[in-house]
Structure 1
Amino acid sequence: MKGKGTKNIVYMAIALGMLFYAVPRLDIGEGMTLPNVFGITWICFALMVIAAHLHEILGVDEEARKEMSRVKKMKKWQFEQMLQGRRKMLQFKK
């Protein structure tokens, strides 16, 4: 496994640990009070962090990342070709 995957696993484990530690201590279920809203919001953010790391670990959009890399390489090549064409035109005009 790559270093990037290991980093995501460690960060996800830390987020899970924080979630398991904090949930029993949060005051949830007492109506629409400020501590209740904070607790629900905090849990939602923690779950989003865990979901993001799980998404990276599973490599859900690896194919899209590869396609984007190919597109960037092609654009770079086209730009270089355009610059070379302009340089040749400038040399031809002299």
Structure 2
Amino acid sequence: MRKWKHGIYLLAALGMLVYALPRLELSGAWTAATVFGIMWSALAMLVIAANLRALASDRERERRRIAAIRRQQAYSREQAAARRRSARRGG
């Protein structure tokens, strides 16, 4: 599976966040450094959340479920078309 790469990305983002947080200026007046620190931290947390979601999700099961829904929709359309053809023939 490809989940190992999300684990590596997650660890890298956590490492960068742990390394940078003590060095970022996050309190005080709204200076450019404070805004940068807050935005950088938010982006790092977004990357962490995305990789956690990728690790937690079951993509293959989701793909099979969507394929089953599409097959059911195609079957329903086929049945409706058959009923219309039958009605036109007077059947």
TM-score (norm 1): 0.65
One-letter identity of the residue aligned with 1:67: R
Q: What is the aligned partner in structure 2 of residue 20 from structure 1?
A: 18
One-letter identity of the residue aligned with 1:7: K
Q: What is the aligned partner in structure 2 of residue 5 from structure 1?
A: 3
Q: Deviations over 1:30-80 (max 9, x none)?
A: 1211110110000000000000000010116665443334456x4xx89xx
What is the alpha-carbon root mean square deviation over aligned residues? 2.5
For 1:53-92, what aligned pairs fall within 5 Å after superposition?
A: 53-59=51-57, 63-70=61-68, 74=71
Unmatched segments (≥5 aa) in structure 2: 76-91
Separation in 2, partners of 1:29, 1:60: 39
Q: What is the aligned partner in structure 1 of residue 42 from structure 2?
A: 44
One-letter identity of the residue aligned with 1:10: I
Separation in 2, partners of 1:45, 1:65: 29
> Pick from 26, 29, 37: which aligns with 2:27?
29
Q: Aligned in 2, Cα 1:5/1:36: closer, same or farther, shift over 3 Å? A: same
Separation in 1, partners of 2:32, 2:47: 23
Residues matched between the structures, number: 75
Unmatched segments (≥5 aa) in structure 1: 79-94
One-letter identity of the residue aligned with 2:47: V
TM-score (norm 2): 0.67
